[in-house]
Structure 1
Amino acid sequence: MARSSHDILSDLLVDEFDVDRATLTPDATFADLGMNSLALAELLVIAERELHLDMSDLDVDLDPTLTLSEVVEHLDAVRGSAPDDTARSPRTPRTDPTATPA
């Protein structure tokens, strides 16, 4: 069974950014957690690797006023298009639906 987006995001924040797990409430903002837009950019890169998604799939504004629940909802929606979080390798190129076959 795949881990939830909430669990993955929580573990990343605790393990990679030394955020106290007790502060990870659904309505906590990234600013509340002491994270600025640069830290959020780093978080998105790590999330891309952990969730096997392309950055373009993670179409999130790097806004420290986002809440954890807003980001989890977005990640759930993105992951919903690939139910198994290992379905696509992070190195697998995306296909261009407008490209003409060679």
Structure 2
Amino acid sequence: MSLHESVRQCMSQHFNLPVESITADATLNDLGMDSLAMVELVCVLKEELHLNLSEADVVVSPDSTFDQAVQAVQVAASAGSVPVAQWTAPA
């Protein structure tokens, strides 16, 4: 499973969003996510996907698209101990 799909699944499960509504160009605001939800999302991703992330390292805003948010997670995770190029979904 790709990082995009894993993030999409986490968002769907933890924020009760239909998977089909989480498209590449949907903004976080469109998905009903405020700044607190974005911090919560980073915490969820750290736990669920075992990524080494810091809330301060994932720079997104309510106007960020889902695709931009995933790219921010990739950049932050790559700076940590788990290079995204070697990342695979947990079993």
| Cα deviations by residue, 1:5-34 (Å, 9 ceiling, x for unpaired) | 111111111111011222111110110000
**SS of 1:46's equivalent?**
helix
Consecutive unaligned residues of structure 2, counting only runs of 5 or more, are none
In the aligned structure 2, how far is the partner of 1:25 from the partner of 1:70? 11
Say if 1:44 and 1:58, in contact at 8 Å, map to a contact too.
no
Residue 81, structure 1, aligned to residue 83, structure 2: yes
For residue 4 of structure 1, report the CA deviation from its aligned partner.
Answer: 1.0
Higher helix share: 2
Q: Which has the larger radius of gyration?
A: 1
**Which residue in 2 is equivalent to 1:18?**
16
State the aligned residue count: 84
Unaligned runs of 5+ in 1: 87-102
Distance 1:57 1:14, change over 3 A: closer
